Amino acid sequence: MSLNSLLPGALSDRGQPITLGVMGGGQLGRMFVQAAQAMGYCTAVLDPDPASPAGLISHHHIQTAYDDPAGLAELARLCDAITTEFENVPAPALRKLAESRPVAPSADCVAVAQDRLQEKTHFVQCAPISGVFPAPYTGIETAGQLAAVADDLLPGILKTARLGYDGKGQIRVKNRAELEAAWTQLGGVVCVLEKLMPLQSECSVLVARGADGKTVCFPVQANTHHDGILAITEVFEGAVPVELAARAQASTVAVADHLNYVGVLCVEYFVVDNGAGGSDLIVNEMAPRPHNSGHYTQNACDISQFEAQVRALAGLPLNTPCQHSPSLMVNLLGDLWFDANGMRAEASEQPVVPPWAEVLALPGTHLHLYGKTSARKARKMGHLNITGATVAQVRETASLALALLGLPGLP
């Protein structure tokens, strides 16, 4: 179904307040719900976890599996439009919802992001427009294809075609013996082998695209990862070279346009050595939703990525976001709730409380915790946004905050 304008505070054709739904109850769903409620919408969340962060604060929480027919029917009954907070929601479930309600992004768009082979094919199709290609790659589905891998794709990174994220489902390989062992370790499932490129840095771009085709870009985000998980995002003029930033934005718009995408989309890029003393851009992967690297928008921009998601879903005008402050985002993982030895602080297994008072005493710090009931190693528990009048001030504050939290320093 097409998206029509759903005005905040209005009544639906059922005589009920306009309700926006989200498939998935994690932190991205929670922040979508918060943005929607701030604008006057009712919200509904479908997630099987009774303690899901988004479900705990939503007007409605449907506690069923993502493909449960009764749960999907109830979400469609309650909602006037529906989105998703993560890419592994079953695409058939989104197609079912779209039979009676506007769904954005569409099931077809989400299906592309769920499969690395489809995703790479899409990037190649966009490259004549954007000029930005993925790294050389090949698909591996059979032992025969494994044996036929070209020599120039090694060393490389073997990734499962589906269900990999935050560094999971991928193994670096130097030679054919390691490639064969890695494919076996990953269960012999369909994989993508990508050539290992001379990486200099990483960046990402958020766009919001409406059903009318209008697309707006957020500033380009410079990202630092630790162990495959985003650790720090820095966003200010010069964080990414101007020419590369412009190319990354143009490429992301091309990716969204080619999919006829509606909603917020994030595309991640590698900045690599071009072999001639300069840098080039390689498109890595996309996320059909708001993204960890876009959390800085909550405190540094006039429109956050979550408000943009609400606007795109509801068919409201999309204004070009304006960043009013240099910003840095620190990802807060569950490791912070453990002591240096990886143990709870007390024999009673009460979690360590990070020094939030000291951190929040620093100028320009903004703490966002996700309401998760237990901390685990590598689990995303929250983020810290830091804003300031100058880049130097932001980085100085960030260095102090990282030291207080016992985290690695700035890159």
User: Worst-scoring range by mean pLDDT, 166-175, 182-191, 249-258, 286-295?
Assistant: 166-175
Taking only the tens place, the pLDDT of each residue in 277-292 is 889 999 999 999 999 9
Name the domain boundary from 150, 171, 195.
Answer: 195
Cis omega before residue 155 (within 30°)? yes
Taking only the tens place, the pLDDT of each residue in 34-80 is 999 999 999 999 999 999 999 999 999 999 999 999 999 999 999 99
- Annotated binding residues, written as ranges, equal 116, 159, 164-170, 202, 225, 284-285
Cα separation of 203 and 222, whole Å? 4
Same domain for 374 and 333? yes
CATH number at residue 278: 3.30.470.20
Same domain for 159 and 211? no
Same domain for 351 and 209? yes
- Annotated binding residues for ATP, written as ranges, equal 116, 159, 164-170, 202, 225, 284-285
User: Where residue 341 falls among pLDDT bands split at 50, 70, 90?
Assistant: low
- The percent of residues above 90 in pLDDT, for the chain, comes to 86
Q: Is the pLDDT of residue 234 over 80?
A: yes
Same domain for 210 and 72? no
| pLDDT the model gives residue 389 | 97
| pLDDT the model gives residue 167 | 59
Name the domain boundary from 147, 177, 195.
Answer: 195
User: Where residue 3 falls among pLDDT bands split at 50, 70, 90?
Assistant: low
8 Å CB contact between 18 and 12:
yes
CA distances from 332 to 203, 367, 377, 404 (A): 19, 10, 11, 13
Cα separation of 379 and 335, whole Å? 8
Q: In terms of residue numbers, what domain contains 152?
A: 136-195
Establish if 110 belongs to a structural domain: no
Establish if 118 belongs to a structural domain: no
Same domain for 148 and 98? no
Same domain for 362 and 236? yes
CATH number at residue 174: 3.30.1490.20
Same domain for 347 and 283? yes
| pLDDT the model gives residue 346 | 46
Establish if 5 belongs to a structural domain: no
Establish if 305 belongs to a structural domain: yes
| pLDDT the model gives residue 348 | 45
Query: If you average pLDDT over residues 172-192, what whole number do you get?
Result: 94
Of the candidates 90, 78, 98, 136, the one whose C-alpha atom is nearest the C-alpha of residue 115 is 90
Average pLDDT over the chain reads 93
Cα separation of 325 and 322, whole Å? 9
Establish if 123 belongs to a structural domain: no
Name the domain boundary from 147, 176, 195.
Answer: 195
Same domain for 251 and 316? yes
Same domain for 60 and 163? no
Angle ∠(6,313,386) on CA atoms, nearest 5: 120
Same domain for 356 and 212? yes
| pLDDT the model gives residue 171 | 92
Query: If you average pLDDT over residues 373-379, what whole number do you get?
Result: 88
Establish if 185 belongs to a structural domain: yes
DSSP-assigned states of every residue in 306-346: HHHHHHHHHT---PPP-B-S-EEEEEEEGGGGS-TTSS-SS
Cα separation of 387 and 44, whole Å? 32
Query: If you average pLDDT over residues 357-372, what whole number do you get?
Result: 97
Establish if 4 belongs to a structural domain: no
**The overall pTM is greater than 0.85:** yes
Same domain for 237 and 164? no
Cα separation of 7 and 18, whole Å? 8
Same domain for 150 and 225? no
| pLDDT the model gives residue 52 | 96
Taking only the tens place, the pLDDT of each residue in 64-120 is 999 999 999 999 999 999 999 998 899 999 999 999 999 999 999 999 999 999 999
Taking only the tens place, the pLDDT of each residue in 123-159 is 999 999 888 999 999 999 999 999 999 999 999 999 9
User: Where residue 328 falls among pLDDT bands split at 50, 70, 90?
Assistant: very high
| pLDDT the model gives residue 44 | 98
How many structural domains does the chain have? Answer: 3
CATH number at residue 79: 3.40.50.20
Angle at which helix 91-98 crosses helix 107-114, to 10 degrees, equals 170
Q: Is the pLDDT of residue 24 over 60?
A: yes
Neighbours of 123 (CB within 10 A): 26
Establish if 122 belongs to a structural domain: no
